[in-house]
């Protein structure tokens, strides 16, 4: 009777897994797949007696294999939930691949050892295609918006000069304000363009040797011109470094302008630079609204904005930190932060001083 009951229960859960639209699987604690639901076999056309772990490798687009393996190994070792997007061959058209979201979570025995992993592969190909369309649209739209904006800027400056000449200072000031707004718009569009460049792998670093200390000073000075806060620089002697000057300055400006933006009630922002071995650091400290701990890991993601009623009052697209982190990654460095809600945040990056 007991055996029958177990059998019935087993059948119930098997039916449950088999009727899922996703591919559902389990693996042992070494990562060997022990079960795949029917849907998987229907999709791939492979027989049930073939080693399912091998089948997964066979249908995966080869370029992903090297990336997936270490992440999966890391999860197996640490018990950290596994989540990755990659492509499996489309059995209906062997030349093409479909995007899947792979996820797995471990279950534990009484001694807290990993018993097995329960995983899914979810087809996200349609979603990915929409995303590609959106990115393409963003790329084209931002590119097309840039040209008229450049002309607009030239005309506005022309009007401003003429008004000054005619001694119409009141209207000249209006033209000046228009020019500032055009700059804001240009920055937003540049961010959108940068994002599309990053996605297409087209963000190129234009590296050369430059004076890091001088750049830090320049950026602090530039940001001070538009900030209501006092921006205090605690410099270290770093000297010449080899990197993309323009892109590094973009990251510095982004961190400082965020610090100012997200600390409306504070009156200062502290910038410090440092040199440890071959690594140059740049840190910005603010005494502002801070970021709740559970949101901190997300701030470097694309379009991510900490959303509470408070943050909604700050303008932005949620792209600056994403772009900054991509630039720093490509420079061979890292970007990181720590924060206390209502107390303030520290944002830092670290890049190599010279190419080894
Ligand atoms: P944006 O500022 O345009 O929204 P960012 O990518 O620069 O985009 O920042 C992402 C999010 O991280 C912001 O929306 C904000 O919620 C949070 N954030 C960034 N810098 C700070 C800071 N210094 N203090 C508090 N929150 C911050």
Q: Which of 195-199, 230-234, 284-288 is the least confident region?
A: 195-199
Ligand 1 centre distance from Cα of residue 226 (Å): 18
| Best of 262, 287, 319, 339 for a ligand 1 pocket test (most atoms within 8 Å of beta carbon) | 262
Residue 308 clears pLDDT 70, i.e. is over it: no
Strands in 190-267 per DSSP E? 208-211, 230-234, 240-243
41-74 pLDDT, tens digit each: 999 999 999 999 999 999 999 999 999 999 999 9
Instruction: Give yes or no for residue 319 CB within 6 A of ligand 1.
Output: yes
First-residue to last-residue Cα distance in the chain:
71
Ligand 1 contact via 311 beta carbon (within 6 Å): yes
What is the distance in A from the centroid of ligand 1 to the CA of 259?
A: 8
Q: How far is the CA of 343 from the centre of ligand 1 (A)?
A: 15
pLDDT, residue 321, reads 96
Distance (Å) of CA 62 to CA 58, 67, 97: 8, 10, 11
Q: Which residue has a Cα nearest atom 14 of ligand 1?
A: 305
Q: What is the distance in A from the centroid of ligand 1 to the CA of 41?
A: 45
Q: How many CA atoms lie within 13 A of 92 on its CB side?
A: 3
Residue to substitute in 192, 195, 305, 319 for testing ligand 1 pocket (most ligand atoms within 8 angstroms of CB)? 305
Q: How far is the CA of 71 from the centre of ligand 1 (A)?
A: 28
Calculate how far, in angstroms, residue 318's C-alpha sits from the geometric centre of ligand 1. 7
* Candidate of 259, 296, 321, 336 to mutate for ligand 1, largest count of ligand atoms within 8 Å of Cβ: 321
pLDDT, average across residues 286-309: 89
Model pLDDT for residues 169-202, shown as the tens digit of each residue: 999 999 999 999 999 899 999 999 998 888 877 7
Number of the ligand 1 atom closest to the C-alpha atom of 284: 23
Name the residue at shortest CA distance from atom 2 of ligand 1: 316
Predicted pLDDT of residue 356: 63
CA pair distance 23, 17, nearest whole angstrom: 8
Residue 236 token pair: 């270290």
Tell me the per-residue pLDDT of 94-105, one tens digit each, with 9 for 90 and over.
999 999 999 999
pTM over 0.85: no
Which of 184, 270, 299 has most ligand 1 atoms within 8 Å of CB, for mutation?
299
pLDDT band at 307 (very low <50, low <70, confident <90, very high): confident
Rounded to an integer, the average pLDDT of 151-155 is 95
DSSP character string of 126-162: HHHHHHHHHHHHHHHHHHHHHHHHHHHHHHHHHHHHH
Lowest-confidence range among 195-209, 260-274, 283-297? 195-209
Q: Reply yes or no on whether the pLDDT at 127 is more than 60.
A: yes
Q: How far apart are CA 331 and CA 247, in angstroms?
A: 9
Three-state DSSP class for residue 305: coil
* Atom 19 (ligand 1) nearest CA: 258
> pLDDT per residue over 220-229, tens digit each?
999 999 899 9
The residue whose CB lies within 8 Å of the most ligand 1 atoms, and thus the one to mutate among 255, 258, 320, 322, is 258
pLDDT band with cut points at 50, 70 and 90 for residue 38: very high
pLDDT exceeds 80 at position 32: yes
Pocket lining: 270 vs ligand 1, CB cutoff 6 Å: no
State the burial class of residue 21 (Cβ atoms within 10 Å of its Cβ: 0-12, 13-18, 19+).
exposed
Residue 63, burial from CB neighbour count under 10 angstroms (0-12, 13-18, 19+): exposed
Ligand 1 atom 4: residue of nearest CA: 318
Across the range 213-226, mean pLDDT stands at 96
CA distance 302 to 299: 8
In the predicted structure, residue 314 carries a pLDDT above the cut 90: no
């Amino acid at each position: 009777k007991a055996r029958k009951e177990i059998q019935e229960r087993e059948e119930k859960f098997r039916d449950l897994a088999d009727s899922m639209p996703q591919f559902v699987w389990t693996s042992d604690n070494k990562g060997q797949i022990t079960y795949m639901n029917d849907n998987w076999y229907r999709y791939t056309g492979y027989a049930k007696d073939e080693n399912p772990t091998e089948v997964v490798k066979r249908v995966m687009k080869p370029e992903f294999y090297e990336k997936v393996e270490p992440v999966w190994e890391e999860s197996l070792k640490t018990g950290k939930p596994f989540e990755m997007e990659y492509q499996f061959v489309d059995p209906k058209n062997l030349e093409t691949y479909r995007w899947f979201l792979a996820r797995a979570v471990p279950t534990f025995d009484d001694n807290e050892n990993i018993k097995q992993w329960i995983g899914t592969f979810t087809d996200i190909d349609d979603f990915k295609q929409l995303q590609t369309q959106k990115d393409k649209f963003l790329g084209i739209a931002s590119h097309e918006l840039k040209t008229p904006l450049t002309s607009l800027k030239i005309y506005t400056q022309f009007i401003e000069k003429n008004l000054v000449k005619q001694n119409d200072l009141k209207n000249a000031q209006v033209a000046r304000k228009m020019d500032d707004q055009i700059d804001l718009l240009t920055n937003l569009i540049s961010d959108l363009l940068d994002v599309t460049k990053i996605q297409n792998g087209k963000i190129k670093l234009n590296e050369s040797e430059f004076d890091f200390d001088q750049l830090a000073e320049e950026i602090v000075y530039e940001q001070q011109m538009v900030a209501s806060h006092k921006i205090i620089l605690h410099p270290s002697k770093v000297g010449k470094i080899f990197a993309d000057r323009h892109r590094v300055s973009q990251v510095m400006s982004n961190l400082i302008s965020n610090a100012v933006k997200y600390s409306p009630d504070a009156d200062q922002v502290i910038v410090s630079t440092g040199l440890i071995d071959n690594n140059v650091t740049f840190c910005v400290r603010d005494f502002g609204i801070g970021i709740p701990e559970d949101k901190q890991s997300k701030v470097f993601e694309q379009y991510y904005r900490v959303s509470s009623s408070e943050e909604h009052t700050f303008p932005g697209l949620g792209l600056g930190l994403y772009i900054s982190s991509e630039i720093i990654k490509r420079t061979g460095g890292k970007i990181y932060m720590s924060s206390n809600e209502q107390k303030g945040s520290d944002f830092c990056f670290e890049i190599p001083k010279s190419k080894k």
